[in-house]
Amino acid sequence: MSATLTIGDFSCATHLSVKTLRHYHRIGLLEPAHVDVRAGYRRYTTDQIPTAQVIHRFRALNMPLDHIHAVLAAPDLPARLISAHLTSLEQDLARTQATVASLRDLLAGPAAAAPVRHRQVDATMAAGIPMVIAKTGVPPWYMGALAELHATLQAQGIRAAGRAGGLFARELLADEYGQVTGFIPTASEAPRQGRVEPLVVPAAELAVIEHPGPLTELDRSCGALATYVASHELQVDGPVREHQIVGYRDTADQRAWRTELCWPIFSTGTAA
């Protein structure tokens, strides 16, 4: 038979503060074995120490309390929940490492920018999905929109006539809220289906730079392109464009991705 401990002794045994133990009691995560209703005293058994230690370690990994509760309450869920949480931690670590590497690279000095080219493009028929959205929500929405466009065109037997891409309104970049349009050029007009609609990507003269690597580093190439445009061109109104040369459909290795950034311009004839 297990012995009982006061909440103070149980706190010392498990390295969980009395305040934390009372909170876990209130939410039903770790309830005392005995509670004196009149005096409010709580007593725990020594058999509860391993459970408290498990909770302590999960919290050290920042697992949400409701997830811990599910792990402890349902024997068939722990492996899946723990695996999902560890995957999330690994992704956070990978993002942190990538950011640190990028900062080290930036602090080492400006890297040589990719060459900027000029391109005159005609109006292009396309299938697209427009959306007014906050800037923070763009990455997952954009990837989802392109996947939906590819699937819709394939289901309808419509051939893509160029690389998938996007139009990004200046308001989105300046005010953090604006219109984004994912599109795929098509050889024939795409019928409306769900969110997909036919559209025409307008003609434009563009300054173009190729960005290598993950989209999280896109601001570096965008900064180089903006510097070039300010130095050599007369900027005109219009959305910034991008085209996926090598993207998520080609490889899961983001280091191998290649993205074209396109800035609308009116050439002054002073290009480098």
Contacts of residue 103, Cβ cutoff 8 Å, sequence gap at least 6: none
Instruction: State the residue for tokens 């995560």.
Output: 29
> Looking at residue 111, what is its pLDDT?
60
* 52 and 68 belong to one structural domain: yes
Domain boundary pick from 109, 137, 163: 109
Q: How many CB atoms are located within 10 Å of the residue 135 CB?
A: 16
pLDDT: which is higher, 192 or 36: 192
Tell me which of 53, 83, 109 is where a domain ends. Answer: 109
- Which residue, 206, 205, 207, 218, is CA-closest to 244? 218
Q: Both 191 and 225 in a single domain?
A: yes
What would the pLDDT profile of 77-128 be if each residue is shown by its tens digit? 556 767 777 787 787 777 777 777 767 766 666 666 688 999 999 999 999 9
Q: How many domains, in total, are found in the chain?
A: 2
Domain match, 148 and 184 both = yes
- Same domain? For 171 and 230 the reply is yes
Q: Record the tokens describing residue 150, joined without a space.
A: 């590819």
Dump pLDDT digits (tens) for 184-228: 999 988 889 999 999 999 999 999 999 988 887 887 888 888 888
Same domain, 195 and 263: yes
Residues of the domain holding 34: 1-109
Whole-model pTM?
Answer: 0.61
Domain assignment present for residue 179? The answer is yes
3-class DSSP state of 109: coil
Q: Is residue 76 part of a domain?
A: yes
CATH (domain of 76): 1.10.1660.10
If one compares 222 and 142, the residue with the highest pLDDT of the two is: 142
